[in-house]
Amino acid sequence: MRLADLLPFKYITIQCHDNPDADTIASGYAIYMYYKSKDKNVRLIYSGPNEITKANLRLLIETFKIPLEYVEKGTPIEDDWKKGLWITADCQYGAGNVTHFDADNVAIIDHHQIEIDDMPLNTIIPGMGSCSTIVYGMLKEAGFEITDDAGIGTALYYGLYTDTNQLSELSNPVDRDMADEVPHDAALINTLKNTNISLNELEIAGVAMLRYSFNEDYGFAVVKSQPCDPNILGLISDFLLQVDRIKTCVVFCQNGDGYKLSVRSCVKEVNASELAAFLTEGIGSGGGHYEKAGGFISEKLFRDNFDAISPEIYLSNRMQKYYEMFEVIYAADYDIDIEIMETYVKKKLPIGYVKAKDMLPIGTPITVRSLEGDMDLTVEKDLIIMIGVKGEVYPNKLEKFKKSNQPLEEAYDYDKFVLESSYIPTIKNRLTGQNELITRYASVCVPKGEVKIFACPLDRYVKVFTAWDKEKYMLGKPGDYLAVRCDDLHDIYVIEKKIFGMTYEEV
């Protein structure tokens, strides 16, 4: 759904979720300003038992004169508005965290797990760090210039900022792009940041920490907090990690119609982002970084699946299960059993490459952004950036590149050569801040030599610390392949099931 699709409506109501947070207010406000600029009759409202009292939200609303109205539950809606369009922002019409008003035409813009699937007008992207990010993309798509004159930029930035624990739990490169690009008032963000917690919430944090539960075997803690601002969860989890015996933790509280989670890890054997995804699998969404991550569990989906247990028990069990189900392989000292493996050869699939100096002058500092994260490089005479079949990027040197690759005449086509990726890598000039798609400069090559491996499908979960990266592991799930190069039995790694089928063939 595009914002422009909804322009035929003359009366548009935008509803934030009950107990609004910065993200729902910001996304609602930005949508409001868009339709206002198109001369629509627009209202921005919220309902629920409580009116907004939080100091940071009051400050945000007052600074930009955000026209957010409180509408009590049961208030009759005038006909023009009822027959017009009703948009819920950062929530889903019909879900438990948004008070019901009768509306004839409904649209949903949200980043939570899909709960309401019978509304044809919707943009719901669960992997996004904030609804503000989605709205930002929709405004750009609509050709709406986002400035900070009316505070739209600052509001959207703050929406993302608060929904991702001060940007520390970002899970999507699209979120990172917005954080980099959107014009915002950094001084005001700083003031908002220091108006974050009330004395009451300070007490909530203290009480929550007193009631931790600790698992002796694996060194993890689970903490339930009373309902509080999600940022306080991050505060508690950051604090817990400093305890000598706590290696990983999850802190959660009821939030809207579900549970908000903050996940931390200080050991390399546990990737917090992956743990957050595991804890919320099938009932929500989670992700972030290696050390810090966050997530959300839908209460409805939780009840449907685990009716008899409390979320605390569920999370403790799930943490335990996570630890129990992995075998950790340190490739450098692992004796791999090749008896049970078959021999495969890598197909010669075309991949992309870019000569860095063709893009920018030598010496330019650049950041290459892909689904896997950011990589800082400097343009050098012989720097080559490779674009693999999964849309992953990695640096190479011209000489080494020539030895093992054959350039082709063919033009590079991302959709054709990348088997599975939703984010086209970008390159940013760190001197000017300018951003471009890396694919604009890409050429095509195929690998020269034959790479032979032994491989077998996994029947269990493994974490492989490869010989070339001892800090971060590769995750293997049942069905994925454990592989090792025939000419180096310590060069062990994991290949995803789908990628394996497309890129290897049996000898």
If the CB atoms of residues 134 and 379 are measured against Mn ion, the closer one turns out to be 134
Distance between CA atoms of residues 286 and 322, nearest Å: 15
Backbone angles phi, psi at 381, to 5 degrees: -55, -40
Chain centre to alpha carbon of residue 296:
12
Q: How far is the CB of 67 from Mn ion (least distance, A)?
A: 20
CB atoms < 10 A from the CB of 2, how many? 10
Q: How far is the CB of 127 from Mn ion (least distance, A)?
A: 13
If the CB atoms of residues 109 and 277 are measured against Mn ion, the closer one turns out to be 109
- Supply 101's token pair: 């008003």
Specify whether the CB–CB gap between 250 and 319 falls below 8 A. Answer: yes
If the CB atoms of residues 163 and 291 are measured against Mn ion, the closer one turns out to be 163
Q: How far is the CB of 131 from Mn ion (least distance, A)?
A: 5
Residues that bind Mn ion (CB under 5 A): 23, 90, 131, 163
- Supply 348's token pair: 């010669």
Closest CA to 383 of 413, 353, 414: 353
| Residue number of the CB atom closest to Mn ion | 23
Q: How far is the CB of 352 from Mn ion (least distance, A)?
A: 35
> What is the per-residue DSSP string for 281-326?
TTTEEEEE-SSEEEEEEEHHHHHHH-TTS-HHHHHHHHHHHHHHTE
Closest CA to 437 of 414, 469, 409, 410: 414
Specify whether the CB–CB gap between 31 and 16 falls below 8 A. Answer: no
If the CB atoms of residues 131 and 445 are measured against Mn ion, the closer one turns out to be 131
Closest CA to 433 of 156, 183, 260: 183
- Supply 5's token pair: 């699709």
Q: Which residues contact 294 (CB under 8 A, 6 or more apart)?
A: 164, 165, 169, 171, 230, 233, 234, 260, 261, 262, 263, 276, 286, 287, 288
If the CB atoms of residues 26 and 418 are measured against Mn ion, the closer one turns out to be 26
Q: How far is the CB of 180 from Mn ion (least distance, A)?
A: 20
Beta bridge partners of 445: 351, 407
Q: How far is the CB of 33 from Mn ion (least distance, A)?
A: 18
If the CB atoms of residues 163 and 496 are measured against Mn ion, the closer one turns out to be 163
In the block, tokens 């792009």 appear at: 177
With left for phi above 0 and alpha for psi between -120 and 50, is residue 165 left, alpha or beta? left
If the CB atoms of residues 165 and 466 are measured against Mn ion, the closer one turns out to be 165
If the CB atoms of residues 27 and 466 are measured against Mn ion, the closer one turns out to be 27
- Return the sign of the alpha-carbon dihedral for residues 461, 465, 466, 471: positive
Specify whether the CB–CB gap between 54 and 74 falls below 8 A. Answer: no
Strands 443-447 and 351-355: antiparallel
Q: How far is the CB of 89 from Mn ion (least distance, A)?
A: 9
If the CB atoms of residues 131 and 170 are measured against Mn ion, the closer one turns out to be 131
If the CB atoms of residues 179 and 336 are measured against Mn ion, the closer one turns out to be 179
If the CB atoms of residues 90 and 257 are measured against Mn ion, the closer one turns out to be 90
Q: How far is the CB of 163 from Mn ion (least distance, A)?
A: 4
Q: How far is the CB of 159 from Mn ion (least distance, A)?
A: 7
In the block, tokens 């595991």 appear at: 278
Q: How far is the CB of 420 from Mn ion (least distance, A)?
A: 27
Q: How far is the CB of 229 from Mn ion (least distance, A)?
A: 12
Specify whether the CB–CB gap between 371 and 388 falls below 8 A. Answer: no
Distance between CA atoms of residues 167 and 197, nearest Å: 17
